A = this chain, B = another copy of it.
Amino acid sequence: MRLVIARCSVDYAGRLTAHLPAAPRLVLVKADGSVSIHADDRAYKPLNWMSPPCTLKEEPADGDGPAVWTVTNKAGEKLIITMEEILHDSTHELGVDPGLIKDGVEAHLQELLADRIETLGEGFTLIRREYPTAIGPVDILCRDAAGQTVAVEIKRRGEIDGVEQLTRYLELLNRDPRLAPVRGIFAAQEIKPQARVLATDRGIGCHILDYDALRGIEDDKLRLF
């Protein structure tokens, strides 16, 4: 990993055209050849970047002008960095990263809810997770206490497009005489007001998922605080 602090200007021509006037910034060159340019704010997003695979060509400064770095990728996108003044330049060997261990995403919510399907209501029974349809798998298909089929769409954050998605599934599932009539439940850790309004308007139930409650007590000792 190479860290360059430099006063530089940057031009990007690719999916859009963008220009960055000369100013001091961090230019980060990684082992995979990728390049990113960071200002002194915002943790996440670089000002400019080129994702790997890409190639960096360095033209050193000469009497006529400053050093110019050109980063290109296969799609013909170009990132041109004009190095007005180098303030710092160091290289560090880091090796391959062991990678992030995650927990708590939608897939896990789906597993947890499937294991505790009765949290949707007494007498609920699981038919299956990832129930396949022509337009993609339904997160959970189950039956309520009265035996009616229920399609469940799970999101971490429930927004309007999730309701649209569930609506399409319900339309399809209701054409299957073995399942129909199928009703829908939109389950999420958080449901946006507009999504709730749309769901209710379409006769779709809303259910707030409590991740910690679903996970149960046994994980408390694993939690950080």
Residues of A bordering B, CB below 8 Å = 1, 3, 5, 11, 13, 15-21, 23-26, 28, 30-32, 34-36, 38-52, 78, 80, 87-88, 90, 92-105, 161, 164, 223-225
Task: State the number of copies, please.
Answer: 2
Tell me which residues across on chain B come within 8 A of A164, comparing CB atoms: 161, 164
Q: Which of B5, B20, B41, B88 contacts A52 (CB 8 A)?
A: B41
List 13 A–B pairs whose Cβ atoms lie within 8 Å, in order of A's numbering.
A1-B5, A11-B224, A18-B101, A18-B103, A20-B100, A20-B101, A32-B40, A34-B41, A36-B43, A40-B96, A43-B46, A43-B52, A47-B100
- A42 to B46 Cα, complex, angstroms: 12
Tell me which residues across on chain B come within 8 A of A19, comparing CB atoms: 100-101
Tell me which residues across on chain B come within 8 A of A26, comparing CB atoms: 1, 3, 28, 92, 94
Q: Is the CB of B47 within 8 A of A43?
A: no
Q: Is the CB of B102 within 8 A of A16?
A: yes
- A92 to B204 Cα, complex, angstroms: 55
Q: Is the CB of A24 within 8 A of B95?
A: yes
Q: Given contacts A23-B94, A30-B38, could you give 15 more A-B pairs where the C-beta distance is less than 8 Å?
A: A1-B38, A18-B102, A20-B98, A25-B94, A30-B39, A31-B40, A34-B42, A36-B43, A39-B97, A40-B97, A42-B51, A44-B49, A47-B100, A78-B224, A161-B161
